[in-house]
Structure 1
Amino acid sequence: MRLIQFRDETGRRRVGWVTADGNGARPLAGVSSVYELAQRAIAAGSKIADQVRSLAEEASVDYARALAEGRVLAPLDHPEPARFLITGTGLTHIGSADARNKMHTATHGGNAPVSDSMKIFEMGLEGGKPAPGQIGVQPEWFFKGVGSCVLGPGEPLPLPGFALAGAEEPEIVGLYILDPQGRPWRIGFALGNEFSDHVTEAQNYLYTQHSKLRACSLGPELLVGELPQDVRGKSRIWRDGKIVWQEDFLSGEANMSHSVANLEHFHFRYSMFRRPGDLHAYFFGAAVMSYSAGFKTKPGDEFEIEAPAFGKALRNRMELVPDEGLVSVAAL
């Protein structure tokens, strides 16, 4: 089951259940957001899928047209954006260590000592998938921002003037809500473009937080239920109407060094991340990146991330935003 958030032709917000052919969506009656839908499910003690089936209208709307017209929104948002926390992890995929190591070698040379990144990846291979009920090794972790940094399909990704570069990071994102008792519930999964400045990151991995550039994109669709063990997709870059770079990517636990449950534990173990009513988007890490392949992006490039398990592709164009210069702080 896959869901979308969209605006109908009158501008009203709706939630839709994507039809089997992937081009239509059955609107849900009585809810205008996935956030409301999740709250309904919690209050009723039911699964989201059961709520969707009970609320779905018979007629369907033209989802493909809504997407083309820019009326499809990010698949999850909060009415108070500051209560939607965006975080992530890395070095969680079999291919991610190779990508990070290529960055390390390109910047520091082939004879550079083994990086801390590679050490963390090896720790994940050894202890990232503990037995059920057990706690494994902790992953890399970072804070990206809050809901105001999340962009939907088709929205431009801003490349700040101070950035040294900007490029895609195709990832699967876990989407969560906290119930009134502060218990985390997973709503589902979505495709995401974590979007980072890998040139800054490669200079020194203590710059990883600065490299995140804050903006990211999600969608178009939210996958309800369990994540497939083996997810296969493609990451592409379009320039002037042509594909100038593409690569297959693998995700799902069969291709990861950490289990989803282990990643979730190390995120939600902090009580401040269990505030009732909050939402969380947790990026699970990228297996491939154009930067690691030596490709240089430029403003105007369009990133496309696609995986059949998630329906239609996520597309966002990178646009240069002028540097604001020195930001000074005044004393009160």
Structure 2
Amino acid sequence: MRLIQLKDGADVRVGIVEEDGRHVRVLGGVDGTWALARAAIGAGRSLAEAAGALPVQARLEYATLLAERRVLPPLHHPDPAHCMVSGTGLTHLGSAAARDAMHQKLQQQAEEGSLTDSMRMFQWGVEGGMPAPGEVGAQPEWFYKGDGSIVAAPDAELDSPEFALDGGEEPELVGLYVIDDAGVPHRLGFAIGNEFSDHVTERQNYLYLAHSKLRACAIGPELRVGELPRDLRGTSRLLRDGAVVWEKPFLTGEANMCHSLENLEYHHFKYAAHRRPGDVHLHFFGTATLSFADGVRTQPGDVFEIDLPELGAPLRNTLRSVPAGFRPGGVRPL
């Protein structure tokens, strides 16, 4: 089952995307995916069962909803401060050829004693990121992006602050979670994400990673409920003035990662502060494909398009530069 959230006047509705991908069945009786998930948890039902039991209010054209910008991110909290957006890096291997090359490079650097901190952390993932179910594996790189206020809807603008040195796409798989009243995380499913980072800032020094990640992001348009195929293949594109200026396939899913999803989830939710009842978590699982790595520099007006067919319709957003809204000396003594 694939779900979306959509605007219906002042209300937020949940829709089921039909198998043909052309129509959406709008559900009544629930105010958004967060409320649906909470109701499903309370009733001891799966998300799909809870959605399937609701009445259908309308059947609408999916393309029209997207064109009218009525489609929202597939999960949000009514209070954005109760939504944590985070991610893990150094998690993906890429193709089999790239995997072999990485192994050879790791071995060579280890023998020479020249492993960087990043490559050392990647090696830990290669060696211990896929533990047996129920066991603890290697810790991944982890970062915080922001709260729910930074999440852009499908087809909306992705805002880059004027102090940014770069604004580049990162095509990723995103896990969507709600914490129940007992503090137990529940995974609703997965969505396409554009993690969107400042790669120039990050490249200055890896200790600037935290700064580079405090940016907007986009998620959606669909929430795929249930388990994922292990091997997921998509395409990331950059369009300028309607023409494709960069395009590249990308791989994700556990078959293309050095960490299992269970291991990444454990190392995120092991912290008690990440299990606050009622909260929403949107967690990015990493990527190995960036236009920045191929020497492409984005500019305002560029359109990012991330297509991962197993997760439904592509995610599209337009890059926009915005004022920072804060200046040196802006803090007032009280």
Counterpart of 2:275 in structure 1 is 274
What pairs up with 1:150-299 in 2 under 5 angstroms? 150-299=151-300
Counterpart in the other structure of 1:104: none
Distance 2:176 2:57 in 1: 27
Distance, in Å, in 1 between the alignment partners of 2:88 and 2:324 is 28
Query: 1:68-87 residue pairs with structure 2 within 5 A?
Result: 68-87=67-86
Counterpart residue type for residue 262 of structure 1: N
Corresponding position of 1:301 = 302
Q: Does 1:50 align with 2:49?
A: yes
Q: Whole-Å Cα distance in 1 between the matches of residues 169 and 320 of structure 2?
A: 13
Structure 1 position 328 matched with structure 2 position 330: yes
Match of 1:13 in 2: 12
> Contact 2:29/2:55 (CA < 8 Å) preserved in 1?
no
- Does the residue aligned with 1:282 lie in a helix, a strand or coil? strand
Q: Say whether 1:125 aligns with 2:164.
A: no
- Structure 1 residue aligned with 2:29: 30
Give the distance between the partners of 1:237 and 1:315, measured in 2 at CA: 10
Cα deviation, 1:202-227, whole Å, max 9, x if unaligned, reads 01000001111421110000010012
Match of 1:114 in 2: 115
Equivalent position amino acid for 2:188 in 1:
I
Question: Partner of 1:157: helix, strand, or coil?
Answer: strand
SS in 1 for 2:251: strand
In the alignment, the residues of structure 2 paired with residue 112 and residue 202 of structure 1 have an alpha-carbon distance, to the nearest angstrom, of 22
| Mapped contact 1:220–1:313 kept (Cα < 8 A) | yes
Q: In structure 1, what is the Cα distance between the partners aligned to 2:177 and 2:207? A: 28
Aligned-residue offset at 1:296: 1.1
Aligned length: 320
Q: Is the 8 A contact 1:160 1:213 kept in 2?
A: no
Counterpart Cα distance in 1 of 2:78 and 2:329? 29
Query: Deviation at 1:290?
Result: 0.5
Contact preservation (8 Å) 2:144, 2:214: no
Whether the aligned pair in 1 keeps the contact of 2:3 and 2:74 (CA below 8 Å) is yes
Whole-Å separation in 2 of the counterparts to 1:216 and 1:168 = 9
User: 1:188·1:222 contact (CA, 8 Å) conserved in 2?
Assistant: yes
Shift of 1:180: 0.6
Displacement of 1:177 after TM fit?
0.5
TM-score relative to the length of structure 1: 0.93
Change in CA separation of 1:327 and 1:88 when aligned onto 2, cut-off 3 Å: farther
2:109 counterpart residue number: none
Q: Partners of 1:22 and 1:213 in 2: how far apart?
A: 34
Secondary structure at 1:119 match in 2: helix
Q: CA offsets, 1:85-113, max 9 Å, x none?
A: 01100110003999xx9xxxxxxxxx995
Q: Which runs of 5+ in 1 are unaligned?
A: 102-110
Shift, 1:58, TM fit: 7.4
Matched position secondary structure for 1:188: strand
Alignment correspondent of 1:107:
none
* Structure 1 runs of 4+ with >3 Å offset: 95-98, 111-114
Cα distance in structure 1, aligned partners of 2:25 and 2:55: 6
> Does structure 1 conserve the Cα–Cα contact (< 8 Å) formed by 2:160 and 2:215?
no
Is 1:81–1:147's contact at 8 Å kept on the other side of the alignment? yes
- Following superposition, the deviation at residue 115 of structure 1 comes to 2.2
Structure 1 vs Structure 2: percent identity of aligned residues? Answer: 55
Q: Secondary structure at the match of 2:141?
A: coil
Contact conserved, 2:172 with 2:287, CA < 8 A, in 1? yes
Equivalent position SS for 1:276: coil
Aligned-partner Cα distance in 1 for 2:218–2:275: 23
Question: How much does 1:331 deviate?
Answer: 1.9
Taking the aligned partners of 2:35 and 2:282, their CA distance within structure 1 comes to: 16
Distance 1:163 1:187 in 2: 33
Give the C-alpha shift of residue 238 in structure 1: 0.4
Corresponding residue number in structure 1 for 2:2: 2
Aligned-partner Cα distance in 1 for 2:239–2:329: 34
Q: What is the CA distance between 1:116 and its match in structure 2? A: 1.3
Cα distance change, pair 117–55 in 1 and its aligned pair in 2 (3 A):
same
2:250 alignment partner, SS class: strand
Distance apart, 1:127 and its partner CA: 0.3
Q: SS state of the match for residue 76, structure 1?
A: coil
In the superposition, relative to structure 1, how do residues 157 and 112 fare at CA in structure 2: closer, same or farther (>3 Å)? farther
Q: TM-score, normalised to structure 2's length?
A: 0.92
Tell me if the contact between 1:92 and 1:258 (Cα under 8 Å) persists in the aligned partners.
Answer: yes
Once the two structures are superposed, the pairs formed by residues 140-159 of structure 1 within 5 Å of their partners are 140-159=141-160
